[in-house]
Structure 1
Amino acid sequence: MQYASNGQKLYVKHCQNCHGAQGEGLGKLYPPLTDTLFLKEHRSQLACIIRNGMRGEIKVHGISYNQQMPAIPELTNIDIAFILTYITTYFGNSKTHFKQEEIAEFLDNCKK
């Protein structure tokens, strides 16, 4: 799957430092990306988190994290689709992928 292989390269460059090679996170600092329920319930917000960063508390696998995530504004919509497809298929066991059009719609609806 091209989306996932391209996503892996982008993940290594932009995400792996904090979230780990297997999406395991880093202690109580950075959340894991392996909570399938969280990924599913927040699908429409994930692109906004990547593009705009995130502040405030987040709960993943029942554990609270409150470390700021920096924005990555230079990523294109297709880059974000690649990354999210990689994360959700390899760490979240999802069978679906993110489409560029879906990412554009999600980003249009981001809370500023």
Structure 2
Amino acid sequence: MRKYILSLAVIGMLLITVMGIQSCYSNVSMETAQYAVNGQKLYTTHCQNCHGAKGEGLGKLYPPLTDSTFLNKQRAQLACIVKHGIRGPLQVNGKTYDGIMPGNAKLNTVEIAYILTYITTTFGNSTSTYTQEEVVKNLENCKK
């Protein structure tokens, strides 16, 4: 009985969180809001140490994730960057970053979709879901 009540409480809290995110982004679908909620925890675990809680980056070491123009122009490469990392100069928000970002090879396509939806909707002002199908397609086209 306790497990049942605890499960209901967790589901209720998740629904309230999704509804809260959706109300903040009135143009965001329920699917996008759900992806973003799932992506937030993954972002905190895998990305926040370098890119910051608000996607602000870390000085000249790690670029911010708040440049909507960059996120839109590089959308097809974002899954590749998350999965395989990136090295070499990168222009973000008018600044050059020349560090090495290690890949997160253990993340599966759904997890990458969640993270990218969280980043693009929370920091990049997008209203669309970065779908698992988009991740699969973009990973197939990665330049290694």
Q: Same fold (TM over 0.5)?
A: yes
Structure with greater helix percent: 2
Q: TM-score range by the shorter chain?
A: over 0.9
Percent of matched pairs sharing the same residue = 61
- Structure 1: gaps (5+ residues): none
Measured in 2, the distance between the counterparts of 1:26 and 1:87 equals 16
Measured in 1, the distance between the counterparts of 2:101 and 2:39 equals 19
Query: With structure 1 as the length reference, what TM-score do the two structures score?
Result: 0.99
Measured in 1, the distance between the counterparts of 2:140 and 2:96 equals 28
1:32 correspondence with 2:64: yes
Alignment of 1:11-26 (within 5 A): 11-26=43-58
The RMSD of aligned alpha carbons is: 0.4
Tell me the matched-pair count.
112
Q: Identify which of structures 1 and 2 has the higher relative contact order when contacts are C-alpha pairs closer than 8 Å and 6+ apart.
A: 1
What SS is found at the alignment partner of 1:54?
Answer: strand
What SS is found at the alignment partner of 2:102?
Answer: coil
Measured in 2, the distance between the counterparts of 1:20 and 1:36 equals 16
User: Given the alignment, which residue of 82, 104, 111 partners 1:50?
Assistant: 82
- Structure 2: gaps (5+ residues): 1-32
